[in-house]
Amino acid sequence: MVVRLKYEKNDPVKFISHLDTIRVFERAMRRASLPVAFTKGFTPRPKFSFASALSVGITSSCEFMDVEFNETISVDEIVTRLNSTLPNGFKVVKAGVPDENIQLSMINYAIYAIKLVYEDISKEDLENAIKDLLDREEIIIEKKSKGKVKKKNIAQNIDYMNIRELLKDGAMIELGVIGQGGNAPIVAIILELQKIIKMNLKIKFINREDLFIKKVCEIIYPL
Amino acid sequence: MNINEALEDILPQVSKPTRYIGNEFNSVHKDKKQIKAHMVLAFPDVYEVGMCHLGIQILYHLLNEEQDVYAERVYAPWIDFEEKLREYKIPLFSLESKTPICEFDILGFTLQYEMSYSNVVNMLELSNIPIFSCDRTEEHPFVMAGGPCSYNPEPLAEIIDFFVIGEAEEVILELVELYKQNKYEGWPRRKFLEKVAEISGIYVPSLYEISYNEDKTIKEFIPKIQGIPTRIPKRIVKNLDEAYYPTNFIVPYMDIVHDRAVLEAFRGCTHGCRFCQAGMIYRPVREKTSKNLAKIAKDIIKSTGYGEISLASLSTSDYSELKQLVEVLTDEFRKCQVGLSLPSLRIDAFSLELAKKVQEIKKSGLTFAPEAGTQRLRDIINKGVTEDDLISSVRDAFSCGWKTVKLYFMIGLPGETYEDIEGIAKLAHKVVDVYKQVNGNVKGLKVTVSTSVFVPKPFTPFQWEPQLDLHEIEERQKFLKRLLKGKCINYNWHDGRLSFLEAVFARGDRRLNKALKIAHEKGCKFDGWNDMFDFDKWIAAFQEAGVSPEFYVYRKRELGEVLPWDIIDPGINKSFLVSELKKSHKGITSPDCRNNRCYGCGINRLGGGICGS
């Protein structure tokens, strides 16, 4: 049976990479004596599939993975047992048998909350800077991979950005990202914003709050 | 800025931030207010190397079982993180509670290889702890060290406050008790050091004066106070089967070098290879029962969730209950996909049946260590393996479908000639021929020949021998490279300069402490990492310190010379080492002493070993 898990990746484990996260779940399931199915062949691997990888340094209250089990087992039992064997910082919040037509690879939308800390920036200035950024046809991000610098326009991936809340020392920003499995180079986007506003914006935290499938006039939640 | 705040800033800027976050499953967190002795166990290399070390896992959990003791860990920060520590003016801190190292009661290093010494010094500096013992005051932690390199403590004698000789789990609680008394009664630093020197197995170098002869060799060790031993006996666990062994191993997040659970089957080795320090210092042989091991293995998997468990010992096939153990474990773990790995299988005792059992779950390459290319040289070094053994094992393995073979050799062994080097190549080509005979072609075959450079080590029969000249080593490596042609043969060799440096420190004395400090000031660190190693800086450091590395590396010692490590008593008689050296000169072997032969190494006076029963 395939079970879909929704889990949180919180502050203590936010620097753990996607590959490390896979290992965390494999080991937690073994500690919990859950009957995970393995691939056949040279190096057997647990039958996991994940939604898009979360960037290192970002927390999330909404991550998904599918797990195949060799035996039928109640989803509540899975949640209870896993939460007792997962390291501090990981928490399974929901589990269920997924609709076959809704695959994790279809996820294309994410909502992020970003806490920015700054000095002497008015609400208007910040709003105008965000508007400037959203109006741009091109937001070019440089990405280094294998020694080469690749340039990419990510303007189309930013669906919306707004100030959710003004805080004493900064603001909470909300960002909707479309495409690429809900991933976006958040730090680079804030850097662009900083260039527009010409003041120092310090990122206090980034949290992925929601992850779903957005169609033209419909939103589908994976679980 | 406090450490946690700084980390929020720093971690996104460095490679592999997981090295520094701690919080791993099974790591221990305690309230520091309830603690009477706060220790930090330090491995002077990067996290993914240090986390594989069994000794720290044992000591960590043993200490943390004590309610009023808290043991934490620290590893050498990688270059990028070190830069950030300096930039943010953050001292080196522990993984668990992020406490600055300088605030601990005791800082304990494990010394696994000489090439980590510069990291020891660097870590002290990053902790704001004076590098030399004599500059430390009551406000600083005591700095101790243990591990195999402590068998020659002298190159670090002015840096480390005290050394534990032998198996630390036997000593550490005694030591902690004394520390608690010290803290309660508020002893001056020197008083604690004098008291700790009375514990058997602990060496406090500052309490010994060393005098030298005109030829720069050591004249004698003179205890400065009464009541401390003239030789420090090693401590050992007598009953390994009943000894403490943790099942709640710390499970790292990141991929470490050997990412698996470790099951220690036995300690010690009776083969008596003459180059091998481990084979001498870890005697006597003490085994755990397979029944006990099977239980421990089950508990470890339950507690860690590891997908692989590895047997640990110096020579897996010597374990007397190996067959039963492997059967029990493979049955036990088949269902939950836990693989078993059996490293250090010796070719003479290589059991194909066992390997096949292991293969059922996971298949890995085969490793053989003939160490020398000809029978003549193997007899000199007492490596009791014949070419026929190797060839027949390889043939069996190929018949069973193995395609990858690694062959380990040493270059520069005492008595080595170019014929022996040729022998290495011949052996490798024979392995290829065997594959052809079995499979009809060489499709899929990969033979990797690796040569390390022989480094004479203390407490081995070769401890008096010089290391082969560096240029000559490089010549022989080139010579072998030319002989090892063919698409299915790969050749790897060690950097001879690194082995030269290893040879300096392996048999060095107290005068090297200064050179170590100077090398550190010049920026030497992570010397074991090829891209970090800077030989020229080391040579400059020796010059400035006024010591000649050649004195330690190339000099043949007289049998009567007082050696820097003579202050340590490893339980092995010097007369045994001399007799083994003389036999080696004549090419006479000393076959495994397990089978009712005794060469009088002297270890049975310590008790606990298989030869005492």
Q: What confidence category does residue B611 fall into, taking pLDDT thresholds of 50, 70 and 90?
A: confident
**ipTM score of the complex?**
0.90
How do residues B254-285 score in pLDDT, each as one tens digit?
999 988 999 999 999 999 999 999 999 999 99
Please judge whether B253 and A85 are an interchain contact, meaning their C-beta atoms are less than 8 angstroms apart.
no
CA distance B500 to B613: 41
For chain B, give the percent of residues with pLDDT over 90: 85
Q: What confidence category does residue B349 fall into, taking pLDDT thresholds of 50, 70 and 90?
A: very low
The residue with greater pLDDT, B577 or B326, is: B577
Among B253, B256, B303, B362, which would you mutate to test the A interface (most chain A Cβ atoms within 10 Å of its Cβ)? B253
Q: What confidence category does residue B339 fall into, taking pLDDT thresholds of 50, 70 and 90?
A: confident
Residues of B in contact with A89 (CB under 8 A): 23
Q: Are B51 and B286 in contact (CB under 8 A)?
A: no
Please judge whether B306 and A27 are an interchain contact, meaning their C-beta atoms are less than 8 angstroms apart.
yes
Q: What average pLDDT does this structure show over A159-181?
A: 94
How do residues B502-544 score in pLDDT, each as one tens digit?
999 999 999 999 999 999 999 999 999 999 999 999 999 999 9
Whether pLDDT at B141 is above 60: yes
- Nearest residue, CB atoms, A30 vs list B21, B301, B362: B301
Whether pLDDT at A41 is above 80: no
Chain B positions with Cβ closer than 8 Å to A: 11-12, 17-18, 21, 23-25, 251, 253-255, 301-307, 336-338, 362-363
Task: Give the pLDDT score at B612.
Answer: 54
- Nearest residue, CB atoms, B23 vs list A42, A46, A87: A87
Q: How far apart are the first and last CA of chain B?
A: 60
How do residues B353-403 score in pLDDT, each as one tens digit?
676 666 554 456 778 889 999 999 999 999 988 899 889 888 888 887 888
Strand pairing report for B308-312 and A59-68: unpaired
Closest alpha carbon within chain A to B248: A31
Residues with Cβ within 8 Å of residue B582, at least 6 apart in sequence: none
Q: What sign results for the dihedral spanned by CA atoms B173, B177, B179, B183?
A: positive
Q: What average pLDDT does this structure show over B48-73?
A: 97
Task: Give the pLDDT score at B352.
Answer: 63
Whether pLDDT at B290 is above 90: yes
Q: What confidence category does residue A146 fall into, taking pLDDT thresholds of 50, 70 and 90?
A: confident
CA distance A34 to B577: 54
Q: Are B406 and B371 in contact (CB under 8 A)?
A: no
- For helices B290-304 and A18-31, the axis angle rounded to 10 degrees is 120
Amino acid at B613: S
Please judge whether A44 and B23 are an interchain contact, meaning their C-beta atoms are less than 8 angstroms apart.
no
Q: What sign results for the dihedral spanned by CA atoms A140, A144, A150, A152?
A: negative
- Tell me how far the alpha carbon of residue A2 is from its chain's centroid: 22
Number of helices followed by number of strands (H, E) in chain B? 20, 19
Nearest in space to B550 (alpha carbons), one of B463, B470, B453, B460? B470
Closest alpha carbon within chain A to B333: A30
Task: Give the pLDDT score at A148.
Answer: 85
Q: What average pLDDT does this structure show over B197-209?
A: 97
Computed over every residue of chain A, the mean pLDDT equals 93
Whether pLDDT at B345 is above 80: no
Please judge whether A57 and B11 are an interchain contact, meaning their C-beta atoms are less than 8 angstroms apart.
yes
- Tell me how far the alpha carbon of residue B228 is from its chain's centroid: 28
Q: Say if residue A53 is exposed, middle or buried (CB neighbours under 10 Å; 0-12, 13-18, 19+).
A: middle
Q: What confidence category does residue A201 fall into, taking pLDDT thresholds of 50, 70 and 90?
A: very high
Q: What average pLDDT does this structure show over B464-470?
A: 98
Q: What confidence category does residue B248 fall into, taking pLDDT thresholds of 50, 70 and 90?
A: very high
Please judge whether A20 and B336 are an interchain contact, meaning their C-beta atoms are less than 8 angstroms apart.
no
Sheet (strand B162-164) strand order: B69-75, B37-43, B106-110, B142-146, B162-164, B202-203
Token pair for residue B88? 């943010």
Computed over every residue of chain B, the mean pLDDT equals 94
The residue with greater pLDDT, B188 or A154, is: B188
Whether pLDDT at A186 is above 80: yes
Lowest mean pLDDT among B3-7, B189-193, B471-475, B500-504: B3-7
Amino acid at B533: F
- Nearest residue, CB atoms, B23 vs list A12, A26, A46: A12
Task: Give the pLDDT score at B502.
Answer: 98
**What is the three-class DSSP state of B99?**
coil
Chain A positions with Cβ closer than 8 Å to B: 12-13, 15-17, 19-20, 23-24, 26-31, 33, 36, 38, 42-44, 46, 56-57, 85, 87-89, 187
Q: What average pLDDT does this structure show over B201-229?
A: 97
Q: What average pLDDT does this structure show over B588-603?
A: 91
Count CB pairs under 8 A between chains A and B.
Answer: 67
Q: Name the E strands within B286-403.
A: 286-287, 308-312, 339-341, 366-371
Q: What confidence category does residue A150 fall into, taking pLDDT thresholds of 50, 70 and 90?
A: confident
